[in-house]
Structure 1
Amino acid sequence: MNEQRKDVLGLLAEGKITAEEAERLITALERDQPPRPGARPKYLRVVMRFDEAEGESTRLNVRVPLQLLRAGVQLAALVPPVALNRANAELSKAGVPFDLTQLKPEHLEALVEHLDETIVELEQSDGHMRVYCE
């Protein structure tokens, strides 16, 4: 256990913060930690924002536990279709040959390996998108 996590748990034990505050702090610490070499990613992350012509925008910030996907939950059930279609197009452009709408548990490890050291990132004048594992 690292020192920062111990500090947060110490504050919780002393009653200086609530359990919810401790959980938020620990989650933030985990996000800020660089991945350890050899550590398996725990989440598939899709972050997107695109402005549409009609003044509307498509926004998405999904952090899906890979364990949930390994258990058979379809990613398409968790992410809006318009976001999946745009993400699929960008994954294809980046050479990651996966259709996220058809992602099955048996294909998940191959996707994780493709995204392990790769972050698919698109920056355009109308928005941005990132797909990665963390």
Structure 2
Amino acid sequence: MSNKILIIDDDADYVDAMSTLLTAKNYDVISAPNGEEGFKKAKKEAPSLILLDVMMTHKSEGFDIARNLKGDEATKDIPVIMITGIRKEMNLPFGFEPDSDWLPVKTVLEKPIKPDTLLKAVEENIKK
């Protein structure tokens, strides 16, 4: 069983914190600072799970990458957890829910995330 997790997020401090937490739980963590690099790494590394931010190079980059991952034969079966602060950042009165067409992810978590919440979501969604 692979336990490789790809974190796609442009916030280096946040990536470091998540990596430290996940590595302590014996996950192999790799990362990419934007969607383009993340998509390439997902195809090359075939992780068991992807943690994906929304707002990176542009405000909807994570949404675009989630759809690209689902549409590619090499990455379509990799579970994705979207981790975002977009609701708070853009003062949106609503959140986001997974949708097979518009937002093809397993779950959406709002930043900031408690470590226990992240670990539970990872365990529930990682491809075994």
- Using structure 2 for the length normalisation, give the TM-score: 0.28
Larger Rg: 1
- Using structure 1 for the length normalisation, give the TM-score: 0.27
| Greater percentage in strand | 1
